[in-house]
Chains A and B, each alone.
Chain A
Amino acid sequence: MATTLPSIACLGVIGRNNNPLHISIFNSYDPSTTSFRPIRTPLQFSLLLSSTLDVFELRSRAHAATGTGLTGDFGLLHAVDERLAAYGFETNTGVKFVVVVDMRGRRASTTSGVVGEAEGKRSNAAGGGTTAGVGLREGEMRVVFKAMQAAYIRLMQNPFYDPDEHSPVSGPGKKITSRRFGEDMRRIGEGWVPGVASL
């Protein structure tokens, strides 16, 4: 069991009108074929992201009633099965970031690049990291959301990005096409390991 570690399987950005803005899907390690490929199809990920929207709404209502949750971090939204879990974050403007974590998405014996550097921290996290939902410590996702928010802010600062086109009141709107934003998402999704300090 300790031969696998959590990794990010999918990053989703959802607009204020619950319209999809961006979806990045990442490879997971498949021990049966010792290869890397996405654990689900794009359609399944898309459905998974949609299903988190109800949780977002319920939570934000609960937050409004109790006056809590001002950090925007919604924590664990949805533990899909023993491997997949969805974590959420909502900005005050209603933009939602969803991180789908695959609890066994990364091979622990890989010693290259980012993976190797965080060796010490990883073995700690791996100890309890086998059951979905409880394997990650509270706030473990904060660094991911921070990085996603930073990338989103950078996108918004681009004068040629029109927020209205992307989240119109009616209709589905455009998706994010920025290459830089896509690269940022890729860097975040591939660079994250439990315990990493910054992305």
Chain B
Amino acid sequence: MPVINVETRAVHVQELNKGAAETVLLVHGMFSNLSIYYFNIAPILAKHFHVVMYDLKSHGMSEKIADGYDLNSMTDDLSALLDQLELSSVHLAGYSFGGLISLKMAARFPDKVKKLAVIEAPDPNDDKTRDIIDEYSREFLEYYVQNFADTTKSKMGKRQMEKNHRMYEYLFHETSIKSDMIRERDFFSAAEIDGISQETLLLYGASSNCLDAGKQLKKKIKRVELMEVDGDHNVPIQQPVSIGNLMETFFKN
């Protein structure tokens, strides 16, 4: 398994079509991992691009880290990863929390980001995500899994339930993730969002409760297009081929 050291931390990285001229780097969301792209979306992009996926800290197969979940730290991590992989600039795409990291990356490191695709990035000022942390319990996870299964058709067994429970417990109670998220409350109203100059594609589920966040971003980013895809917040799982094809067209043209 390709786990590399980036500034002393172990990071799980997967790459496809390494010889291609241009790179697309994919950032997954919170409580998820790179597999959200690996089987469907990444192979579509890899027809034309070198594709890089990585697991965020404490996610997937990357090392557990107690702090640094604010967007500055997360983009420092990503910038260091690019340096480690000797990639001077990439097309960047991020889903959910990964979408926020991608927006921040485009704002902080404009020379490292060519085009930007943002999938279902939520407004950090929306209390729903933080409420999840406050109300977290095993019962909540079981309810969430049931609801998740309805929209993704995936069922979680006992071992997976335990594994996910341990991850949530770690992130919620042993890391700074909650306080770091609170610090990002005003990210959408920050001037740096207005300053994003890269051509940007916003992809949102037509029935997603994050769609309003996409509409907010559309008003603020200069060179932007918002596209609605049939589905909700889980749209990369529900419509991976559509999401992959839309990004492929966007990054190619």
Co-complex (A, B): no
